[in-house]
Structure 1
C-alpha cells in the first residue's frame, strides 16, 4: 500500500517540481513510510511522486515511480494486484521469457501495460488500485481507479494563470501541499456531507477538485494546455456487470452456495499472500468470521486474528470474537479500550480524514487499525463489502416493510401521524420499545415517522432513510436544489433505472456505487493508512463481485434477514449458535458523549457566534439541536455529529 501524487503544469520553467514532489511525499508519509521517490520531466512539465509501504518484495527493486523495461512508461501505483503471478505467466506466453527484476506486482503491472496497453490491462486486473502512468512516447498520462473504489484518488485543477496545474493524489493533503493551491470550499459538497456524513464520489469538499469514481479512467494529452477537455471515462461499470447476468442466473441454492464458496476461498487465498505479518480482523459477526474461517481453511498453519473490545459492555463485542477464535483455533489478539481512549481520538479525526467525514464508526476503526499495527501487523483482511453485496443493512428489509404499511397513508394524513408520535413522552416510547424488544426504538420511531411523512414512493423513502435532512437548506446558509441523491441523476436515469431492478436490489446497487466507496472504503483506507497498515477485502474480489449478481435476491435476503447465503457457507465451518445474533456493527455512544464528556467540546464547536462568523451553518438551528439533545428532549446525535465534525474541520482548514 502506498501514497501517490503528481501534477502536470503549463509553466515548464518556473515551478520547482523537485521541491513540490518532496512536499507531496512528506504529506503522504503515513501511507508509505518505507520508501519514497520522485520522477520529473521538466521539458514536458510532469511530476510523479510516490511513498511506499512495502508488502510484497521488500527490496529496493520495488521502488517507485517505476520505469518499464523499455523506459516508455513511468508508473506510480497504490494497491495490490492479487493475480499478478498469473499475469506474469500470460506475459511469458505472449512475449516470451522476461527479464524480471523483482517479484513486485508493480513491475507486473507496468510490463502488462507495455504489452497490452492501459485499457486491456485494466480488464485483466484482479485487485485494488489507483495509479497514474505516463506514456513518454505518446505524451499521454492516465489516471485509473479499481472497480469498487477500494483505493482513493483525487484530481483537479488549482493555481492561477500559467502556474495553473492539473494535480492528483491519494489524499487531499498531497494536493494542498502545492504552494499555490487556491481552491475554495464547494457549497454543494458541503450540503452532501451534512446530509450523508460523507462527501459522495465524484465530489470533493473543494471546488474544481474531484474524486475519480470507481471503474473510471482519465486520459490526458500532456501537450494540451486546455484542461477543460478532460473528463473521466468508464473502463468498467457495475451496470454492465448486471446486464451481462441475463440468462446466466443461478437459481439452484446448492449450486449457488458451492460456486460462491469456491470463489471466496480463491479470493481469501490470493489476498493472504504477503511478505509481512498478516492478520484477519475478527468482530464475531458474519462477514469477518467467514473471512477468518476461510483464511484458516486455506492456511497450512495457525492464522492470526485480531479484535478490539471496550470497557463499556453495551458496545463491546470482543466476547463473540473470542468464541469464534477459540473454535477456529486461531492465534487471537485482543485489546480492550476505555471510554477515554475513544474520546481522545475525536479531536484528531480531521487529521486522519482530510475531508470532513462523520461516520462515528471511524473512531473504533482508527483504534482497531492502530492497535493491529502496534502488534506488528502490516496487512489485515476485513469483511468490508458484504453488507452492500449480500443485503446486510437493515434498510433493505425495513424500507419495503415500512412502505407496505405506511405508504398507503394519504399525504394529508401524514402530518397527523407525526404529531401523534411527537405528543408521546420519551418514557412512553421507551416503554413500548422494551415491550416490543426493539433496540433503539425511540430513535427508529422518530426517524421512520419523519421519513415516511415526506416520501412519495419506496425509492424516495430509501433516499430519505440514508440521509439526515428532509431539507438540508434549513441547517446551511445556502439554498440547495432538492432532492439530493448520493449519485448523479444523469447516471440514475440513463443506466440504473434502465436495469428495471426490484426495489431491494436497486437499493443495494446505489449503496455499492455510493456508500461503499464514499463511506466504508474511505473509513477503512484512511484509518489503516494513518498507521501504515494495509487492509484487504476478499468480498470485493472481481470474480466474487461478478458471481453475486447472478444470485437471486432470495439467496441474499430470506425471512427478513440479510446475508442468508453467507450464513449457510459459514455454517460449514462454525456452529450457527456462535454467530447468529442481531447485527450490531461498530457502535459508538455518540448520544451519551455529546451530553457528557464531549459536551464542552460540542458547545465550543457550535458556539452561535463562531458558527455565524464562519457562515456555513445556521447558528439558530445548531443551537436548537444541541439544547434539545442535552436536555433529553430528542436524540439529535446523528445530525449534531455531522455539524460538529464540520465545524472542527473548518477550524483547521480555513
Structure 2
C-alpha cells in the first residue's frame, strides 16, 4: 500500500522546479507511505512521478519506486497489491518473456508484464487492488488506471496547462497550479449520498477515475482523452444472470468456500505482520475463519467496543475469536476517545465525507496498526450476497405499495404530511395505552413523514434512491446549485436484473461500496499507515457471486444465506446469528450532548449566511428540530457538519 502523485506540465520548467513541486505533493502523502519515497522526472517531457512507499512485499531497495521496466520503455508509480503476481511471473517465464528479476515485489512483476504484453492485457490478467500512473517513454503517453472494484483511489484534473494526479486530493492541492473552486453541484451530491460519487469531486474540474477504468493521455491528445473501461460491473451482472450455476445448495457452498479460500489465501501474502478486523458478524467471521484454515499460526484479530447499549459488538467478536483460537485484541472506546477523532476528520478525508462510521473505522485501524501492518476486512459481503436490510424491506414494502393505486398513495401521503411531526408525537403519546406494542414507535411523527415521502415514489428505483438519500432535495439546500446526474439517476447506466433486490445490490456495488465504504476504509486505515485488503472483492469472487441464484443469497427473509452456510462449517450458528448492527456511533445523542457546542458553532446562522453555501433557514430548522427531539436528523445534519468542518480546515475560515 502506497501513495502516488505527479503531474504533466505542457509548458516546460526546469528540473529543479519540477522536482521541487513534486516533492511538495509527495510530502502530503507521507502517511500512506512512511517507509520510503522516490521521484522520477523527465524534464524534456515535463512529466514527474512521485511515490511514497509502505513496504509490504520485498522490503529491500529492489522495491523502490518509481520503477523502470528492464527494457527502459515504462516508468511506474504504483499503489496497491497484485495478489497473483507470482503466477504472472511464472507465465512470463513460460513465454520466455521474463526479465532478470531484481527482487520479488509485485510492482516489478507488473511493469515486466507491461513490457511483455502491454497495458490492456496486464490489466485483464491481474488480480488485485491498485491504482497506478505509468509513463510510456516510447509512445510519450501517460496511463492512469484503477482496480475493478475501486479499492484504491486516484484523482486527476487539468489546472491550466498542467495535469495533476494523485492518491489523495491533498497532494494535488500542494501544486502551485491547483486553483479549482468548490463545485456547488457536487456539494448537492454529497448531501444526498454522504460522499461525493465518482467521477465528481468537491472541486470543479477535478475528477475521480472510476473503478475498472484506464485513462491514456498521448502527447497529441491532451484534454480530449477520456477514461475507458477495461472491466464493466454490469457485464458481470448480465453474464452471471444469463449463466447461473445449476447445482444443489451443498455444491454451491463448496464452490463458494473454495473461491473464498483462494481469495483469502492470496491476500495473506505479506513480508510484514498481518491480521484482520473482526466484528463477530457474518462477513468478518467468514474471512477470519478461512484465514485460520490456511495459517500456520493463530491469526491476529482486532475489535473495538463501545459501552453504549446497541453499539457494542466486541462481546460477539470475542466469542468468535475464542472459538477459532485467534490471537485476539480488543479495546473498549470511551466516548471521549471517539469524540477526540472528530476534529481530525477534515484532514483525514481530503474532501467532505459524511458516513459517521468513519469514527470507529479510524479507531479500529489505529488499534490494529499497533500490532500489524496489513489487515483483512469483510467489506463487500452485503453487496454481493444480499446482506443489507434494505434489500429485504424495500422490496417487500414496494410490492405492497404496488397494490395501492397511485392516487390513493398520494392521498394518504398528503394526509400524513398535513399533520406536523410534533402533532403526530403528541397524538401517539396520548393514544399510547390503547395502541399495540409494535405501534409505539420512537419519534412517530418523523416516521410518518418519511412514510409519506416513500408513498410518493413512482417506481422501485426512485423508492430506493429516496431510502438511500440523507437529503431528499439537496439542490434546494445549496445556493446556486443543480444536482448532476449519477449512476443512480441515469437509467442508461442501470443493469438489467429483472428484480428490485438484485438491482439494488448491483447499484450499491457500483456506488455506495466504492464511493463510501471503500473510501472510508482506505482513508481511515492509511491515516494510520495500515494496509487493508478486502478478499470479498476479488473480481473472480464477484463474478461467482453473480452466478449464484437469488434464492441462495436471500432465503426465508434472511440475507447472505449461502455465505452463512459456509461460515457454519467453521463457527457455530449461535455465535454469529443476531440482528445486523452496522458499525455505528450514537450520533443522535452526541449532537444533543457533548457535540452540541461544536455543532452550534458550525451551524450558526450568521456563519452560514456569510459563507453562502447553504440556505441557513432550512439548516437551522433541522438543527432545532433535532435538538428538541421532535425529529432525528442526525445523518442529514452530519453531512452538513462534515462539510462545514472540512471548509474550515481547507479554506482557513474561522467562526
Coarse TM-score class (shorter-chain normalised): over 0.9
- Structure 1 residues 54 and 609: alpha-carbon distance in aligned structure 2, compared to 1, 3 A threshold: same
Note if 1:472 corresponds to 2:469.
no
Alignment of 1:83-482 (within 5 A): 83-95=84-96, 98-158=99-159, 160=160, 164-221=161-218, 223-224=219-220, 227-245=222-240, 247-252=242-247, 253-374=249-370, 376-407=371-402, 408=404, 409-419=408-418, 422=421, 423-425=423-425, 428=428, 435-436=437-438, 442=444, 445-446=447-448, 448-480=450-482
Query: How big is the shift at 1:312?
Result: 2.3
Per mean C-alpha deviation after superposition, the further-off stretch among 248-257 and 185-194 is: 248-257
- TM-score, normalised via structure 2 length: 0.95
Q: Check whether the contact 1:278–1:380 (CA below 8 A) recurs between aligned residues.
A: yes
Aligned residues: 642
> Shift in Å at residue 83 of structure 1?
0.3
**Match of residue 487 from structure 1:** 487
Match of 2:2 in 1: 2
Q: Does 1:589 align with 2:586?
A: yes
SS at match of 1:315: coil
User: Cα RMSD between the aligned structures?
Assistant: 2.0
**Separation (CA, whole Å) in 2 of partners of 1:443 and 1:117:** 60
TM-superposed deviation, 1:309: 1.1
Q: Distance in 2 between matches of 1:63 and 1:437?
A: 63
Q: 1:635 to 1:96 in 2, by over 3 A?
A: closer
Query: Which among 596, 619, 623 is matched to residue 622 of structure 1?
Result: 619
The answer to whether the Cα contact below 8 Å between 1:426 and 1:442 also exists between their aligned partners in 2 is: no
Residues 416, 449 of structure 2: 8 Å contact kept: no
CA contact (8 A) 2:417 2:449 kept: no
Distance 1:381 1:414, change over 3 A: same
In 1, Cα distance between equivalents of 2:556 and 2:25:
51
| 1:521-532 equivalence runs, <5 A | 521-532=518-529
CA shift for structure 1 position 439:
9.1
The answer to whether the Cα contact below 8 Å between 1:418 and 1:449 also exists between their aligned partners in 2 is no
1:476-555 equivalences in 2 (<5 Å): 476-480=478-482, 486-487=486-487, 489-490=489-490, 492-493=491-492, 495-497=493-495, 499-555=496-552
Q: Residue 578 and residue 344 in structure 1: after superposition, are their counterparts in 2 closer, same or farther (change >3 A)? A: same
For residue 199 of structure 1, give the secondary structure of its aligned residue in structure 2: coil
356-365 or 470-479: which moved more? 470-479
Query: 1:528 and 1:542, CA in 2 relative to 1: closer, same or farther beyond 3 A?
Result: same
**Counterparts of 2:223 and 2:87, CA distance in 1:** 39
Partner of 1:558: 555
Output the CA distance in 1 between the equivalents of 2:148 and 2:489.
Answer: 21
2: CA distance between counterparts of 1:517 and 1:467?
Answer: 17
The CA deviation string for residues 485-542 of structure 1, in whole angstroms up to 9 with x for no partner, is 642755x31x525x24311111111111110100000000000000100000010012
Q: Which residue of 2 aligns with 1:643?
A: 640
Residue in 2 aligned with 1:18?
A: 19
Aligned 8 A contact 2:135 2:141 in 1: yes
Is 1:44–2:45 an aligned residue pair?
Answer: yes
After superposition, give the CA deviation of every residue in 1:251-275 in whole Å (9 maximum; x if it has no partner): 4222221111100000010101111
Contact preservation (8 Å) 2:150, 2:210: yes
Runs of 4+ in structure 1 over 4 Å off: 429-434, 437-444
Contact 2:424 2:445 in 1 (8 A): no
| 1:555-593 CA-partner distances (Å, limit 9, x unpaired) | 111122111111111000011100000000111111001
| 1:61–1:313 CA distance, 2 compared to 1 (3 A) | same
8 Å Cα contact 1:406-1:452 kept in structure 2: no
Report deviation, 1:231.
0.9
Partners of 2:69 and 2:266 lie apart in 1 by 25
Quick one: distance in 2 between partners of 1:66 and 1:443? Answer: 61
Does structure 2 retain, via aligned residues, the 8 Å contact 1:27–1:177? Answer: yes
Q: SS of the residue aligned with 1:342?
A: helix
Q: Unaligned 5+ residue runs, structure 2? A: none
The gaps in structure 1 that reach 5 residues or longer are: none
What is the SS of the residue equivalent to 1:413?
helix
User: Secondary structure of the equivalent of 2:472?
Assistant: coil
For residues 411 and 372 of structure 1, do their structure 2 counterparts lie closer, same or farther at Cα, with a shift above 3 Å needed?
same
The verdict on how the C-alpha distance between 1:175 and 1:255 changes in structure 2, with shifts beyond 3 A counting, is same
Aligned-residue offset at 1:471: 1.5
